Chains A and B, each alone.
Chain A
Amino acid sequence: MSEVPQNAGYMMAAYIVTAVILIAYAVSLYRRTSKP
């Protein structure tokens, strides 16, 4: 098994933050678009 780098936690945190921001914007855009 490959060794996990010490800063892996920071990398995961950055991925999660990015996903949250992108998904939040996509959902807000979808809700505004689908509103009659």
Chain B
Amino acid sequence: MFATIVLTTGPIWGKPIWGTWWTWDARLTSTLFLFFLYVGYLLVRGAVRDPALRARYAAVLGICGMCLVPFIHLSVFLFRTLHPQPIILKPSAPSLPNSMLATWLLSLAAFTLLYVGFVTQRYALSLARAAQQGRSSEAGHV
């Protein structure tokens, strides 16, 4: 979901700044690839019936996605892209005004809380469904 937000709002920002909605530079392309990995993850979770196999396949895709995240961050160093060099997550001090940094930190905290809330709710839903399936299969054996 957050990857979807990045891939839709990024081009909206890019249009007035770069003059184009999309360009096939390293960061955008690798982020799109990450999005497709997550789509694949969700498809695997829905398609494989065996719980152990489903967990293994999904874990592999999840680890692949996580490995891609640092590559996306470092892609501006590795390739010539339209994206600027990092201004916050870099070895030296952040190079933006304090007011903008405070706004960014507040937004980061808000979105992190939102993420934790969504994951908690989604996990509870999965547990409830697993328990329901367990009860159904037990009733089927009786």
Contact = CB atoms under 8 A, between A and B. Distances in A.
Contacts, number: 37
Given A17-B5, A22-B114, 16 more contacts: A10-B12, A10-B15, A10-B16, A11-B13, A13-B12, A17-B8, A17-B9, A18-B5, A18-B9, A21-B8, A22-B1, A22-B5, A25-B1, A25-B118, A29-B121, A32-B125
Contacts of A17: 5, 8-9, 12
Q: For chain A, what secondary structure do more than half of its interface residues adopt (helix, strand, loop), or is it mixed?
A: helix
Contacts of A22: 1, 5, 114
Interface of A: 6-7, 10-11, 13-14, 17-18, 21-22, 25-26, 29, 32-33
